[in-house]
Amino acid sequence: MQKIHRRVYMVGFISMCALFFLVVHIKTSQVQSFFITALPEKPIENETAIPASKTIPVPAKVIPEVNKPPQEITKIALPEKPIENKTAIAASKTIPVLAKVVAEVNKPPQEITKIGNSPDFQSARGIGNLYFVHTALWTGDYVRITAIKPRGWPRDIFCFLWYSEDENSTSITVKATVKDLQFYTEVTSVGYIKCSLSGGEKEKKPPLYVGLTNQNTTWFGPKIKLLVENRDIDVDKISKMKSTAQNGHSGTGNGTGPEKNRVVEFTVCIPAMYNYGDAAQLVEKLEMVRLLGAGRVVLYETSIGANVRSVLELYTREWSQGNETLEVVVHSWKLPKISMHYLGQLATVDDCLYRYGWLSHYMVFNDMDEIMIPLRHENWSQLIAEREKSNPGSPAFMFLCSIMNKDHSSPAEGFEADAFFYGSSILSYTQRDVYIFEYKNKGKLIVNPRKVQSLEVHHIYEANGTTDVIPEDQGLLYHYRWPLRPCDPEVQDNRVVNKFGQRLLARLKSVWSKLDGVPKGGKRPPLNPTRATCKKVLKIGGKKLAPNVNHVAKTHQFVKTLIHSIYPSLHENF
């Protein structure tokens, strides 16, 4: 009998081991298939995206040569013929393993691909096929490259810096610093590559091009060259901004016409527009941030509708003619077809911070459907000036978030007809959740770009100082969206409409009078005044699942309720 038990135990143990190795094999195959299929063999084309060159006549002074066709491939000074190695060739006849090494050594160097002002992420040849880079920006001290990359790999990267257009000129090689930013659950992350100039190379002058290699390909040289942008950065202007920022500077920040390298008080950065056709929301966003003090709005376009294109053309045309004080800048943003979080949102944050940080006293980071509202002050400038007096040296200011629920209409009194006609969220919705999300959970930031080195979507990643959390009675992030907590109590909040409603409506009428025949797009506010979503409560085994918990908690509660309905005797603490 004992022998039988031993055999049963042995069979069970062997079966468990076999199952474990099978699972590991399947997981490994999935990972390998992802890396194999993630990259296309040919350059990625986005047929649904509308090329920026055909849609938005962005002034050349604002985005120089954005749509410039790729430059011709050039070669650096490398031997015209493969290196002869008679000893190695003889060895390859007797040692098969060495033949592969010899083939790589004798392989002719590949040509370098030059990239300058490219609207697309490009595969970083010489580093890895899953490494994508977008832009090299000069910061005044070093070159910073925004990248989408495999999480945690590789870190041993070298930068080749060129200071001349001469193909035969020599380059300076420095070891790069590589860091991942937030990566959520994907195998890829947004990160940056930092090419620092040590020992006073060229007296800290910006290089013209930067090339990249990893530790294993340094001998062959870089296979890709990126044109370094922001090379005309004015260090003296930056120094003046530093001193004025330390003294609590607060200016108007709005110019009266097109001006190259114009310093504004507030630059607003908005993530990529993908299949975006809500022209009404876009106009309201631009006009609302204008009232709050924005001097520049930076947008990233992946694919947009014709109506949105018409809106952007209006703003950029008015700006180029000197009739507009709000500078609207649009960058093409074509992403690689790999798994990443929210259209590479964090990459747009990093790009905007370093592309326009030196031209901004402060930078505002939020989404198209979010508005940061000062509740005691008339604009951002007054609010930040007071917060800096209370918390001197703060690198960033966090607005806590509350949801303005769009599942039912609650138009402000006296604005009912206009709210519906212009598709205005601010005038259409005045009821929000009582609940206000905690710090670092859905809040958004206004930052001082001279004190922040990098940030994530909801909090600072690297900075000099501590983030100042604005009290909810002084400022709040109003997020106009479908409810996240549909059964929670609401509160009537007319503060935004009371302070900005009339001025906002006047601006909406003015802009839309110039957009005759352009569809507003998006979804009009619902006419039902009562909430309907709270009735959608899932019932399993006679128990209700509250829909206002987060997805992880909801999944756990679903599984627990299902198991309890089948096995009621299970312990409640499961």
**Lowest mean pLDDT, pick from 28-37, 98-107, 273-282, 332-341:** 98-107
Ramachandran quadrant class, 117 (left: phi over 0; alpha: psi -120 to 50; beta: rest) = left
**Lowest mean pLDDT, pick from 129-143, 234-248, 480-494:** 234-248
C-alpha span between 11 and 36 (Å, rounded): 37
Q: How far is the CA of 240 from the CAs of 62, 243, 295, in angstroms?
A: 22, 5, 19
C-alpha span between 351 and 431 (Å, rounded): 35
- State yes or no: pLDDT of 222 exceeds 90: no
pLDDT level of residue 539 (50, 70, 90 thresholds): very low
Give CATH 3.90.550 domain extents, the chain: 235-247+261-512
- State yes or no: pLDDT of 410 exceeds 60: yes
**For the domain with range 119-229, which CATH number is right: 2.60.40, 2.40.160, 1.10.10, 1.20.58?**
2.60.40
**Three-state secondary-structure class, residue 336:** coil
**Three-state secondary-structure class, residue 545:** strand
- State yes or no: pLDDT of 262 exceeds 60: yes
pTM check: above 0.75? no
C-alpha span between 381 and 289 (Å, rounded): 12
- State yes or no: pLDDT of 2 exceeds 60: no
Compute the average pLDDT of residues 309-318.
96
- CA nearest 349: which of 208, 455, 452? 455
Q: What does the pLDDT read at residue 45?
A: 41
Report which of residues 507 and 15 the model is more confident about: 507
**Three-state secondary-structure class, residue 500:** helix
- CA nearest 319: which of 290, 288, 292, 352? 290
Percent of the chain exceeding pLDDT 90 equals 38
- State yes or no: pLDDT of 249 exceeds 70: no
Most confident segment among 89-98, 209-218, 232-241, 252-261: 209-218
Strands across the sheet containing 444-447: 327-332, 296-301, 264-273, 360-365, 444-447, 396-399, 468-469
Q: What does the pLDDT read at residue 96?
A: 35
Give CATH 2.60.40 domain extents, the chain: 119-229
Between helix 495-512 and helix 279-292 the angle, nearest 10°, is 120
32 phi/psi in degrees, rounded to 5:
-65, -40
Q: What does the pLDDT read at residue 235?
A: 55
pLDDT in tens, 412-464: 999 999 999 999 999 999 999 999 998 878 899 999 999 999 888 777 888 88
Compute the average pLDDT of residues 200-219.
76
Report which of residues 15 and 321 the model is more confident about: 321
Q: Take residue 120 and report the two structure tokens written for it.
A: 């697309």
Report which of residues 82 and 172 the model is more confident about: 172
Compute the average pLDDT of residues 193-200.
79
Q: Do 461 and 360 meet the contact criterion of CB atoms below 8 Å apart?
A: no
pLDDT level of residue 64 (50, 70, 90 thresholds): very low
Q: What does the pLDDT read at residue 536?
A: 46
- CA nearest 512: which of 394, 421, 377, 417? 421
Percent of the chain exceeding pLDDT 70 equals 61
Q: Do 194 and 144 meet the contact criterion of CB atoms below 8 Å apart?
A: yes
Compute the average pLDDT of residues 467-496.
93
Report which of residues 235 and 351 the model is more confident about: 351
Q: 235-247+261-512 adopts what CATH topology?
A: Spore Coat Polysaccharide Biosynthesis Protein SpsA; Chain A (3.90.550)
